[in-house]
Amino acid sequence: MAQAEFVVVANRLPVDRVDGPDGEPAWRRSPGGLVTALEPVMREAHGAWVGWPGQADLEVEPFEFEGTDLVPVMLTADDVELYYEGFSNDTIWPLYHDVIAAPRYRRVWWDAYVRVNRRFAEAAAAAAAHEATVWVQDYQLQLVPQMLREARPDLTIGYFHHIPFPAYGLYSQLPWRRQVLEGLLGADVIGFQRVADAGNFARAVRRQLRYETRASGIRVPQSDGTSRTALAKAFPISIDAQSYADLAARPDIQARASEIRESLGNPRRILLGVDRLDYTKGIRHRLKAYGELVEDGRISVEEVTLVQVASPSRERVEAYVQLRDEIELMVTRINGDYDTLGHSAIRYLHQGYPREEMVALYLAADVMLVTALRDGMNLVAKEYAATRIDNRGTLVLSEFAGAADELGTSLRVNPHDIDALKETIMRAIEMTPAEQGRRMRAMRRKVLEGDVAAWSKSFLSALDATRENS
């Protein structure tokens, strides 16, 4: 396979292994946002994508898929447990989401993280042509930029961080805080979701490494006594907004939305939550507020239904097992106390759905509840806005989601304040169509203009600019 001018490195390859029609394993494009975002760039550049195929101990040779060279990185069952479920999802994930759950600091996990990051860096170095551009994605691979720069100083290296970067007081808990900062600073451009994340990162660099920062630039000393400038800046990610609007315009999907309303007993208002089942998403806070509104008699289950889609996630990590139990206990209690024979207070779905069904749900919902306690961006908020081509519906949006910086006409709320959350839900339920329209139009404009193509373009032009300056 020839070396590529443009290489993406991510924990996962953009494909899933499935059983083909003849029973032979086949590959199918994964539905993720990143895949859609990068697809046009990859096709144009005939790029390569380095990542894990998603199954432990699976050794696969590089292969071409829809115009992209895929370079599989093998993870053993041990790697998956220590590097992925351990350090990535039980150390970094909770620490970077403001310690909503307690991070666990285990040295064997860190050792595996270093080892696996090196494997990704080596695969990327082998896949990249001379002076190529490499774009590393997310918190599982924070050491790759530096490892790659050491092996291949000719490359231009970008890194995008999809989750929050915490305030220094929390970040400084990490026993390997210096190594992680140095790892990230191997990149020429380090992209974050929010201005505040980039600020937290720059502060950690000043405090830990004593490097100078000016505006978005960080002066990184080199071993030969010179220095280079790395850029740490916000590039808020987005969605392929037009594709959501197109789905929303399809008659069969609109019919499905009516059918969903019908099947819920045509309530006056449908509230909707859509999240991976994750403790960062504030699902318990949402259920608490809703349950109290029913208990207070301000909402009747005959008139208002909450649909909560909680798609299965990280089911082998203990904190997620516990969270699922807590949520399911809450749902059962609220439903047990308040359901009538004909109507359910909460329709809870621990399942994943095709995108068409998600869009039908967005169209059926009068109020979308995004109550994350901490979230890098939250694409669900943007998907809801992109879908509402009828300019109806209300978005209740946590201040702690990155999307709150951009969607200024949503009803923003602090989800920790249960009384405020209750009032905001009531306000959303009662909002007039005219006000819904004013707010939704502004949000849709924002999401259509700042779509995912604009995101990757602005990141990659910032990266190109550093090449020209060096």
Strands 213-214 and 217-221 turn out to be: antiparallel
**Apex CA 175: angle with CA 172 and CA 177, to 5°?**
55
Question: Which one of 13, 71, 163, 230 is in contact with ligand GDG (CB under 6 A)?
Answer: 163
The helix (run of H) or strand (run of E) holding residue 186 is none
> Exposed e or buried b for every residue in 175-186, given b needs 16+ CB within 10 A?
ebbebbbbbbbb
Q: Which residue, 266 or 351, has its beta carbon nearer to ligand GDG?
A: 351
Q: Which residue, 5 or 328, has its beta carbon nearer to ligand GDG?
A: 328
> Exposed e or buried b for every residue in 280-294, given b needs 16+ CB within 10 A?
bbbbbbbbbbbbbbb
Question: Which one of 256, 269, 276, 441 is in contact with ligand GDG (CB under 6 A)?
Answer: 276
Q: Which residue, 253 or 301, has its beta carbon nearer to ligand GDG?
A: 253
Q: Which residue, 217 or 352, has its beta carbon nearer to ligand GDG?
A: 352
The answer to whether 272 touches 310, Cβ cutoff 8 Å, is: no
Q: Which residue, 128 or 373, has its beta carbon nearer to ligand GDG?
A: 373
Smallest separation, CB 64 to ligand GDG (Å): 26
Question: Which one of 28, 250, 333, 355 is in contact with ligand GDG (CB under 6 A)?
Answer: 355
Query: Up-side HSE of residue 239: CA atoms within 13 Å toward CB?
Result: 25
Q: Which residue, 40 or 437, has its beta carbon nearer to ligand GDG?
A: 40
Both structure tokens of 226: 């010179």
Distances in Å between the Cα of 126 and the Cα atoms of 7, 160, 294, 455 are 10, 21, 59, 27
Residue closest to 353 by CA, chosen among 275, 280, 287: 275
Smallest separation, CB 38 to ligand GDG (Å): 12
Which amino acid is located at 373 in the chain? L
Smallest separation, CB 68 to ligand GDG (Å): 20
229 binds ligand GDG (CB under 6 A): no
Q: Count the neighbouring beta carbons within 10 Å of the beta carbon of residue 340.
A: 11
Touching ligand GDG, residues 256-275 (CB under 6 A): 274
51 binds ligand GDG (CB under 6 A): no
Binding mask 21-50 for ligand GDG (x = CB under 6 A): ----------x-x-----------------
Q: Which residue, 3 or 311, has its beta carbon nearer to ligand GDG?
A: 311
Instruction: Report the greatest alpha carbon distance in the chain.
Output: 76
Q: Which residue, 134 or 380, has its beta carbon nearer to ligand GDG?
A: 380
Binding mask 364-393 for ligand GDG (x = CB under 6 A): -----------xxxxxx--x----------
Number of chain residues interacting with ligand GDG (CB under 6 A): 21
Question: Which one of 217, 265, 352, 437 is in contact with ligand GDG (CB under 6 A)?
Answer: 352
Touching ligand GDG, residues 102-141 (CB under 6 A): none
Smallest separation, CB 197 to ligand GDG (Å): 11
Smallest separation, CB 374 to ligand GDG (Å): 9
Question: Which one of 162, 388, 439, 444 is in contact with ligand GDG (CB under 6 A)?
Answer: 162
364's CB contacts (< 8 A; 6+ apart) are: 257, 258, 260, 261, 270, 272
3-state class of 65 per DSSP? Answer: strand
Smallest separation, CB 313 to ligand GDG (Å): 8
311 binds ligand GDG (CB under 6 A): yes
The answer to whether 450 touches 236, Cβ cutoff 8 Å, is: yes
Query: Up-side HSE of residue 116: CA atoms within 13 Å toward CB?
Result: 34
Smallest separation, CB 334 to ligand GDG (Å): 22
Show the 3-state SS of 274-294.
Answer: EEECCHHHCHHHHHHHHHHHH
Smallest separation, CB 165 to ligand GDG (Å): 12
Say how far apart CA 269 and CA 367 lie, in whole Å.
8
Touching ligand GDG, residues 403-422 (CB under 6 A): none
Say how far apart CA 153 and CA 88 lie, in whole Å.
27
Distances in Å between the Cα of 80 and the Cα atoms of 70, 280, 469 are 20, 22, 39
Residues that bind ligand GDG (CB under 6 A): 31, 33, 162-163, 237, 274, 276, 309, 311, 352-355, 358, 375-380, 383
